[in-house]
Amino acid sequence: MGTLAVTGDHDADQLLLNDPFALLLAMMLDQQIPMEWAFKSPLRLKERIPDDFSAAGLAEMNPDKAEAAFKEKPALHRFPGSMARRAQDLARHIVDNYDGDAAKLWVEADTGQELLKRLKALPGYGDEKAKIFLAVLAKRFNVTPEGWEAAAGPFSDPTPRTVADIDSPEALAEVRAWKKAQKAKGKTKQD
């Protein structure tokens, strides 16, 4: 069981703690929208497609049905159509490479570098997102393959800079304050 608490919604946080695919999906959606919105979206999606909420279910779903689920009000993302397609690509990747079991992505990785490589191969995950997710796994779920700190780079340190550092409403406020201060200085999350 992990310690991630980012949404302010008990049920949404519990889904993220208990469903590795939901956690991967939330992180993929975490761009150009508030963090809480991104991390609540898997629960909303599960409520809309309860029988198909899994990597296999989403991978096989008719694209129009997936897009409709993402667009239903409230939309799951600022760009629901493109994110529905990306979510299906992510689901297919999990099915094709990990037999539909998202947790295999990290359970079967022997080193931090191997895990980072696997994360970077995910649709919707670039270098920074992959490093942040690696830090989420280590800091919030105690998934610490050898060399994870080096692979996660600055996101492995104790500075409250990303979702990896959020385990309470207070921690969320600290991350927001840090990001605001960095922005005011013209710096990024990695600085």
Question: What's the rounded mean pLDDT across residues 90-98?
Answer: 98
pTM over 0.75: yes
Q: What is the pLDDT of residue 2?
A: 85
Question: What's the rounded mean pLDDT across residues 44-70?
Answer: 97
Convert the pLDDT of each residue in 116-154 to its tens digit: 999 999 999 999 999 999 999 999 999 999 999 999 999
Q: Give dist(CA 129, CA 26) in Å, integer.
A: 11
Model confidence band, residue 45 (pLDDT cutoffs 50, 70, 90): very high
Domain extents in the chain: 10-158
Q: What integer best gives the mean pLDDT of the chain?
A: 95
Q: Give dist(CA 100, CA 17) in Å, integer.
A: 18
Topology at the third CATH level for domain 10-158 = Endonuclease III; domain 1 (1.10.340)
Convert the pLDDT of each residue in 174-191 to its tens digit: 998 888 888 888 877 777
Q: Give dist(CA 68, CA 10) in Å, integer.
A: 26
3-state helix, strand, coil in the chain (%, to 5): 65, 0, 35
